[in-house]
Structure 1
């Protein structure tokens, strides 16, 4: 499908072909007929992209602050790679569109295929032939409303949210400063509701456009403007002033102070300089409020992506209701969108449309629409063949596919895998298609799959790497294994025991080898530590991690993604189990800042094992930048040891201390990727066999899930598996017959990878 892309490095606009997005749970897949270019927001985005690096920094000082903070946290080299990657990664433009529903994801009940809908949201309602939009950002188009005008709903919702923020009452006098698209729609909405409204703009063309719709408007440059506006209201001031302009100048805010009555409200809708003069704002005791985009729910992933509703009694006007209200008023004829005279461009000419945003002697266009042919289709769901239950190691070049190609994959795993001889990248899929297309070209994947199923059905892979968001790991891992393909799955393997049971069942029946992304097992310091520990001796283990505070809007805190305990602390639970000879029997987790597994940032986890070993994991998720990351200390019979940030290992034994340094603090990613290739090829693993063991990775994942139960229920929780596949995969007795007893653990299933049995 075609989509409009912006190069953040150069500001260039291109139209590219990328795979159509999937209908994931809670989403609506729409074939666009129209999309609206936001003259203000998108012009600013394109303008910033065309700036030099210094110009970009001046335009976005907030991002400069983020870069400085990243240098403190991760170092100059890593920050440079991050910035370079961001500048090289194309961005989909657009956030207001309308079209026909092609497919809906699980959980969407009020939207059906074939319906005409309007949609909102940057990254979702893009300028593309097909888009996938969360259900709470999609509304049906009423009968009688042309789909062309439905594409204005999002920008109309921005205008409506500004009116809500003004908290005006019937009969209020309201001024609108700035008569671009949002300002024109604001004036029309105010008229529809019966307010006494006037508009103000420095561009006489915009003033004339408002007057042609029967609205009252004044040119900003007119002499005695404030007096003229006040005379219009018989000498009274504005009850509210809505600022819908886009300018770095603070003039709109200053002028609003002249127009407003005593104790009035000034609402900032547009992007303007806010430097209110004390003389007017203090004397009149004016209030300044901001309007947040389309309304309540915006920037809240639980509402927008998770589909969680707000209680209507407390939040009646959500962004979704704002969208629907704009369409309702359009249906009644209260909004005259045709009178805005939008310029129309076919999507293939998107670059010309964005060129029309630039100032020209002929004036500016207040509205620009992209038109789509309406012929794009979703691919038919392919049939993914089931595996045979036996595994034949591939000969020759090893074909590796990827589901997901985010930052971690492209900065860490792909480079290491690329260095392994005899490996080629076959297909890549995932997300909304853009990242897969960009990274597929960058890393030399032969194919960008239309979706995960089409990639799996192609049979063009010996190993599939699951590198997507956490909530999809369990489902994708099970599908890969059931298709008879070798699996590499980044941690966590699953977010619930139900998902882990499904993965275990698929692994046991597939015959295909599997590995999980617990890379620290492969770290040189861990390898040397294991060799220094006495075999089978009980261990006392303390693992301290300064993870650092994450922002409240980080994707980890989306309830669907499981939080830091499942997504990060699982690493350290795994490391403890990897070093201890016994099996885990109990876990106790205590939250410092929260007892909710999805939101807790700092937790302490205590583990006990059936051989008498004990481990304590202190994960500090509220620590400041610059603190050392990880410290692992172990005490056992005649031996003490410490790993300090994987840069050094010190072992005390026989009254002597021996320290080994490791340049760069390697955490095992390079050895992990080499081990993966050997696992899939069925080659001897030697000392890496225990690190590659999949059953122990399932153990780690199960213990992490039980730790979440312990955290939320505030109690000690047993760790023994209780479901059939996990009982078999983990080598435990059947439930009720001493499942936590120390019985031998299995290796991989028959015909699988040549990994030997590993202690958890």
Structure 2
């Protein structure tokens, strides 16, 4: 671990869908893990995530000493909630349709329990001496509205209703209005949940302003167990070895009829010194002289790149992703022989002789450099690099190893752009170009917006800069860029940018990269003017050509050149030729995006 909060050998409890998976080996961001106190067993600590969910519900209820609280639903979350409420000094009444859960709830201190066969409201009213419940916490799971309707009846005037479980919410306004009830939907295990900056990047909230984050809720729950204030051990009704996990799920789904509450999965104790991160799914039988390692089989790679590689006739040798299940799924779907989570190992695999990379932006330069050093041609999705320092490292690697690199600037390979360039092929004068991009809104916390991922200019606007280099056959000479301010606090100013580029042949191009447009407007529109001749491309579906007072219109299917690009790259690899786009041009595009960023920051590049 590179995290100062933990050391090798620490016992930790962790959470987070996609991180705290049922697996022998997992990697967890620091805010989704916490140390287990010495006197708490692994078995008890395994309840930490559920306990934190229940704890957040109790915190949202804002309960006080001596208050009357009803818990609707006495399953696992409900049983934990009962204990938390008793630890908070509350009088607790539990309600459930399954009376077999009552004994357990009473063991945990529940003051009263009532089945559905009795008059809930009458009994709870008697329990509260006619006051009604100060708070009602719903931990049931059902599509029915009944838990919400019941909560409204149980709560006193100005009472509080907290929804922890997934229940029907098709409710009337008038009962809430008449009682002035507060209704709160508790979000998982606390502040920070679903915030990428908190969960993935480890940016904590100051305790003075957010006292109970999801991580601090996890710590608090473990401390309650350590101090004997929380009994989770008696909730465990079944324990299975991981190899028998199917039996556990058969009980949960009802396929095996058994009463259950908490089910634990046990893993064998293994020393993870040499973790095997690559598995062979089938024997590799080469049929081509191009044997591919594909890094990063996400949605884009599986939609636009791998299918086209299949059509090109290359051998799909290895695929890697961060998640083993994703890698194995992609390998089986497309016929890769090897499934791996170790990209560096696959780059250096003895049988791999070409690398295709579609990982997150901040890894591109690293994998490009590693591929070049391994003397293997590499195709990488844009951007080539996210910083000037990375680009310099690539420069050095190419110079020292005579490397071959291609970046996924597919638009120049599309038929509309090929036809447009041909239309102006005999020009003698500079061109005037306009490229308007209705890029669409992306939240600030989307991974592409993070500084280490380069942002949208470096990460996407590079496409349109490359298109202009393609049409002009010229490199940028001077760049100017401005952004507009927006009243939308969730939208970055540099999501709306106008870029002007003066090219070495005298051409001038303007790129309007905008996120504040309407979704109904087609995404891309390009106009070119030169020598009393004009061309207008509309979203890769239509190209209008104007010359000698005549208009010619061509129509297309909307494809953006991915297939043609892949075929051109594969051909270059097979023939040992230079890549379809020279490194000089690839580098110029990256440099242009860096200069745009610099100009938007108010500085000189």
TM-score (norm 2): 0.92
Any idea what the Cα deviations from partners look like across 1:401-429, whole Å, max 9, x if unmatched? 111101111111111111113x1011111
Cα separation, partners in 2 of 1:506 and 1:683, compared to 1, 3 Å: closer
Residue aligning to 1:562: 454
Cα separation, partners in 2 of 1:466 and 1:279, compared to 1, 3 Å: closer
In the alignment, which of 524, 539, 543 is matched to residue 431 of structure 2? 539
8 Å CA contact 2:355, 2:378 repeated in 1:
yes
What pairs with 1:213-224 in structure 2 (closer than 5 Å)? Answer: 213-224=108-119
Separation in 2 of the partners of 1:607 and 1:524? 24
8 Å CA contact 1:129, 1:374 repeated in 2:
no
Any idea what the Cα deviations from partners look like across 1:228-273, whole Å, max 9, x if unmatched? 2233333322211111110111111121122212201100111111
Residue aligning to 1:255: 150
Separation in 1 of the partners of 2:454 and 2:46? 35
In the alignment, which of 502, 506, 528 is matched to residue 608 of structure 1? 502
8 Å CA contact 2:82, 2:109 repeated in 1:
no
What pairs with 1:368-517 in structure 2 (closer than 5 Å)? Answer: 368-375=263-270, 377=272, 379=274, 397-421=289-313, 423-517=314-408
Separation in 2 of the partners of 1:338 and 1:463? 53
What's the CA shift for 1:398? 0.7
1:211 aligns with 2:106: yes
In the alignment, which of 523, 536, 539 is matched to residue 629 of structure 1? 523
Task: Name the SS for the 1:680 alignment partner.
Answer: helix
What's the CA shift for 1:598? 6.4
Separation in 1 of the partners of 2:144 and 2:276? 53
8 Å CA contact 2:448, 2:456 repeated in 1:
yes
Cα separation, partners in 2 of 1:210 and 1:595, compared to 1, 3 Å: closer
8 Å CA contact 1:428, 1:448 repeated in 2:
yes
8 Å CA contact 2:480, 2:499 repeated in 1:
yes
8 Å CA contact 2:197, 2:445 repeated in 1:
no
What pairs with 1:41-440 in structure 2 (closer than 5 Å)? Answer: 104=1, 106=2, 108-278=3-173, 280-359=175-254, 364-375=259-270, 377=272, 379=274, 397-421=289-313, 423-440=314-331
Residue aligning to 2:583: 694
Task: Name the SS for the 2:137 alignment partner.
Answer: strand
What's the CA shift for 1:380? 6.0
Task: Name the SS for the 1:431 alignment partner.
Answer: coil
8 Å CA contact 1:563, 1:599 repeated in 2:
no
What's the CA shift for 1:643? 2.1
8 Å CA contact 1:302, 1:559 repeated in 2:
no
8 Å CA contact 2:544, 2:553 repeated in 1:
yes
Separation in 2 of the partners of 1:224 and 1:395? 74
Separation in 2 of the partners of 1:295 and 1:529? 54
Any idea what the Cα deviations from partners look like across 1:469-526, whole Å, max 9, x if unmatched? 2222122222222222111000011222222222222222221211000001212222
1:670 aligns with 2:563: yes
Q: How big is the alpha-carbon RMSD for the aligned residues of Structure 1 and Structure 2?
A: 2.5
8 Å CA contact 1:707, 1:717 repeated in 2:
no
Separation in 1 of the partners of 2:400 and 2:287? 23
Residue aligning to 1:753: none
Task: Name the SS for the 1:675 alignment partner.
Answer: helix
8 Å CA contact 1:559, 1:598 repeated in 2:
no
Task: Name the SS for the 1:481 alignment partner.
Answer: helix
What's the CA shift for 1:708? 2.2
Residue aligning to 2:281: none
What pairs with 1:519-598 in structure 2 (closer than 5 Å)? Answer: 519-533=410-424, 534=426, 537-550=429-442, 554-580=446-472, 581-591=474-484, 593=486
TM-score (norm 1): 0.74
Cα separation, partners in 2 of 1:238 and 1:418, compared to 1, 3 Å: same
Q: Which runs of 5+ in 2 are unaligned?
A: 278-285
Q: Which runs of 5+ in 1 are unaligned?
A: 1-103, 383-393, 719-760
What's the CA shift for 1:615? 1.1
Separation in 1 of the partners of 2:353 and 2:245? 40
